Amino acid sequence: MDKLKDLDQFKQLRDSGKTVFVFMTGWCPDCHFIRPFMPEVENKFADFRFVEIDRDDFGSLGEALQISGIPSFVAYDNGELLGRFVSRNRKTQKEIEAFLEQL
């Protein structure tokens, strides 16, 4: 999974193709929980580009997108919001895949 470098890159990725932004941090236990299976999720949903956003590095972006917990997922297709999977709860592979399937 690529990591977001700056806000200009966010805008470019949001507005070009199908992108899922995954908000995480290094200190979050639930973020560490999903890391081992995320490559499999990315392979299953290869029509999406997955981009990790460190919530601590991009706090203002997280606030603007109303990210209330991590890990959280926000999906766009050419600038149009497709869906959000945002909560403070731990997310399983099955739950993440179900979210992506309904997009």
- Checking if the pLDDT of 76 tops 90, the result is yes
> Distance between CA atoms of 33 and 11, rounded to whole angstroms?
28
Per-residue pLDDT band at 88 (split at 50, 70, 90): confident
Considering only CA atoms, which of 61, 94, 88 is closest in space to residue 72?
88
CATH for 2-101 is 3.40.30.10
| pLDDT over 70 percentage in the chain | 100
- Alpha helices of 1-103 — where are they, by DSSP H? 7-14, 29-34, 38-44, 59-64, 93-101
Segments making up each domain of the chain, as ranges: 2-101
Predicted pLDDT at 68: 87
Q: Confidence class of residue 67 from pLDDT cuts 50, 70 and 90?
A: very high
Mean pLDDT of 19-29: 96
Rounded to the nearest integer, the mean pLDDT of the chain is: 97
Backbone angles phi, psi at 44, to 5 degrees: -65, -30
